């Protein structure tokens, strides 16, 4: 089922590239197309590509992350960076910026950190959704497969 050599080779190469691209997307997102949501989708595409090429269990192993906790952490992180404004008497989510712009990264402030939270949330939620739906026998107990059926794509590392 998961036995395309081309797909597997490309998928292995693409994972680090996509993860790097996702971080790039995340950081450029404040004024240009991109941002936490887009970056998160790119990163989860990287993992989902592994899932398509090698099967969900490999995708779990290659990125051993508890995606649900990651999503919860992301929401928590994003919500947290609205709090400094609340404690200094401004409306929730009012932006704070560090003035000198860091070369290559841009200005850093609470919206960027909020976006990082969004990034983690999107990575967690979309990857978890895709993996759960692909692992359906685990999620929804089914009658055992008949003997002789092709076992799930066991990758050669």
Contact residues for another protein, defined by CB under 8 A: 37, 68-69, 72-73, 75-76, 79-80, 82-83, 85-86, 89-95, 125, 129, 132-133, 136, 139-140, 142
Nearest Cα to Cα of residue 3 among 58, 42, 74, 46:
58
Nearer to another protein, 15 or 134 (CB): 134
* Under 8 Å between Cβ of 81 and 114: yes
Minimum distance from residue 77 beta carbon to another protein (Å): 9
Q: Output b/e per residue, 87-107; b: 16+ Cβ within 10 A.
A: eeeeeebeeeeeeeeeeeeee
> Over 81-107, what HEC string results?
CCHHHHHCCCCCCCCCECCCCECCCEC
Least spacing, CB of residue 24 vs another protein, in Å: 21
**Shortest Å, Cβ 16 to another protein:** 27
Q: Closest CB to another protein among 7 and 85?
A: 85
**Of 68 and 98, which CB lies nearer to another protein in the complex structure?**
68
Q: How far is the CB of 29 from another protein (least distance, A)?
A: 14
């Amino acid at each position: 089922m998961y036995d395309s050599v081309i797909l597997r080779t490309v998928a292995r190469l693409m994972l680090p590239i996509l993860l790097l691209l996702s971080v790039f997307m995340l950081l450029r997102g404040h004024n240009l197309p991109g941002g936490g949501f887009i970056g998160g989708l790119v990163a989860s595409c990287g993992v989902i590509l592994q899932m398509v090429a090698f099967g969900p269990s490999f995708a779990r192993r290659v990125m051993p992350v508890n995606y649900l906790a990651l999503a919860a952490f992301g929401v928590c992180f994003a919500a947290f960076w609205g709090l400094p404004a609340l404690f200094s008497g401004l409306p929730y989510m009012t932006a704070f910026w560090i003035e000198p712009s860091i070369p290559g990264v841009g200005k850093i402030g609470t919206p960027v950190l909020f976006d990082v939270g969004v990034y983690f949330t999107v990575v967690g939620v979309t990857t978890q959704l895709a993996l759960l739906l692909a692992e359906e026998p685990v999620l929804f107990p089914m009658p055992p497969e008949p003997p002789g059926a092709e076992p799930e794509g066991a990758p050669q590392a």
